[in-house]
Chains A and B, each alone.
Chain A
Amino acid sequence: MSGLKVTLRPIAVMGMVLFTSPMVGRGGPPHGEDVVVGRSGAGQLATEVPVPGPHELPPVNLGIHGWALADPGLLNLAGDEPGKDFFTLGAGAIVNLELVSVDPALKVWSEGFGSVLTAPGQSFIVGGSVFDYHPMYHIDSDDPAFDPATEIYSVMLRLFDSGATGYAPSEPFTLTFTPVPEPATGLLFVLGLLGVLGPRKRHGARRLR
């Protein structure tokens, strides 16, 4: 019995940490995971993607269904970095996010849910020269194309400028997402609970005898 405890307790802790960490993270990461947006010296929009993914999407079940998160965001570069040919955006820029390609059932919502990108060529404005924009990435379990066996969802995006600055469109960049809790993680959580509660119940039953 004590051997079982020793074996299952760490699994329980690990399982619960894995299970709950996405919920703790719902408050959103600091700027470290946001896509930084600037331009090259030649006048082309440029991005730096610190964490391409896979980003974990927690469950959502209110109005929309499936898994969703409003991170990573899109954040303007705040200071020139000449060594990286990465410069701040000029006044007059109007930066748009355009969908290049997307896996079935993955959608990109604008802030406030006014627009949704589901097909190549669709776009919405994310800001001017200064912005901190958080689209919501949504794996739609109600979508007819939703496949519960899919573990990684991918979207390719690019930015274009519709403002007076006239920057050339950025190179496409890719973000990937995975729904959590995955079945395996949920199973680990259940096993962990059994590890914690199971031995206690049996211990209590022995006392009763």
Chain B
Amino acid sequence: MTARAAALSLAVTLLLAADVVAQDPLDMWVGKSAGRLALSPPGFQPGSAYNPLFRVDQSFLHGWSHVNPGFDHATSSAGGVAPLTNPVEIRLEVVALDPALVVFGPAFSFTLDQPGERGLLGDANVHTHPTWFIDEEDPGFNPDQCVWQGTFKLVATAGGLQPSQPFTLLLTNVPVRGGEFPPTPTPASGDFEEDSDVDGEDAGAFAACIGGPQRRPSPSDPAITTCEVDCYNAFDFDDDMDIDLMDFADFQMEYDP
């Protein structure tokens, strides 16, 4: 009885001593659903935003890189995705990568640049940040490109879980609205020209960007922009990765010729 009381006291003490920490909503939270690895909805959902990379010029790296989004573990069930239990080993597998896009494991523990390559992320308590890197010195680097796509899946090499559904990250080397470091939520303004008004020239840019619902913008007018992130920054008022009539309604509210 004394031992149980002591154990209980110790447990309570440890519980009180533990700091309150949270999973980072900018990371992808890994769990399981229906026998498969899955990403839990409260975490970052790939494709729901552009992930900005930042300029890096070191002797061994020239290009743009960053470590977000990382991978964290789901700690409670949400959206049909339950936390993982050990034993399980989770690996990131490349399905497809745009040329010049490379993924480094933490502290270069692995390098992924070809479909089928895998790198270890961790176990049921996974919490890791790969480095997403656009290699400016890669022969396949296209200076006119502004969004690099990487499609991946999570595979379990122990634990009997099936691979996750493939997911695609949208990595960019141009500034993303609100994506500076540290991130600062910033609403769209409609001011494409960034001249502190929303006028006819911005309306022309809106026309070049609008592509309809559930389709990423694909502007093709070099005189305005060929970079979809520019469209997102100025005109995606509802942050749903498209420029549609919902955004037009908001643009009209801002329009002042």
Write the residues of chain A forming the contact surface with B, with a CB cutoff of 8 angstroms: 23-24, 26-31, 34, 36, 48, 50, 57-58, 60-64, 68-71, 73, 75-81, 83, 86, 94, 111-114, 116, 125, 127-128, 130-132, 134, 136, 138
Contacts and interface: CB of A to CB of B under 8 A. Distances in A.
B54 A112 contact: yes
Contacts of B107: 26, 57-58, 60, 68-70, 136, 138
Contacts of B109: 23, 26, 58, 60
B163 interface: no
B73 A30 contact: yes
A131 B61 CA distance: 25
Given A78-B22, A125-B182, A112 B131 contact: yes
Most buried by B among A76, A77, A134: A134
Given A27-B123, A31-B127, A112-B53, 12 more contacts: A23-B109, A26-B105, A27-B106, A61-B108, A63-B60, A70-B129, A71-B106, A76-B22, A113-B65, A125-B182, A127-B182, A134-B129
Given A70-B129, A111-B129, A112-B54, A81 B20 contact: yes
Interface string B39-65: 000000000000001111010110001
Contacts of A28: 106, 122, 126-129
A128 B20 contact: no
B67 A111 contact: yes
A75 to B, nearest CB: 5
Interface in B215-257: none
B125 A94 contact: no
Which 7 A-B pairs give the minimum distances between C-beta atoms?
A: A27-B122, A63-B60, A79-B20, A128-B182, A78-B22, A132-B24, A28-B128
A163 to B, nearest CB: 9
A137 B70 CA distance: 18
Interface residues of B, number: 45
Interface in B97-131: 104-109, 111, 120-123, 125-129, 131
B202 interface: no
A70 B61 contact: no
A57 B70 CA distance: 20
B108 A62 contact: yes
6 contacts: A58-B109, A60-B108, A61-B108, A111-B67, A112-B54, A125-B182
Contacts of A130: 24
A64 B182 CA distance: 27
Contact of B56 (A79, A94, A113): A113
A195 B122 CA distance: 30
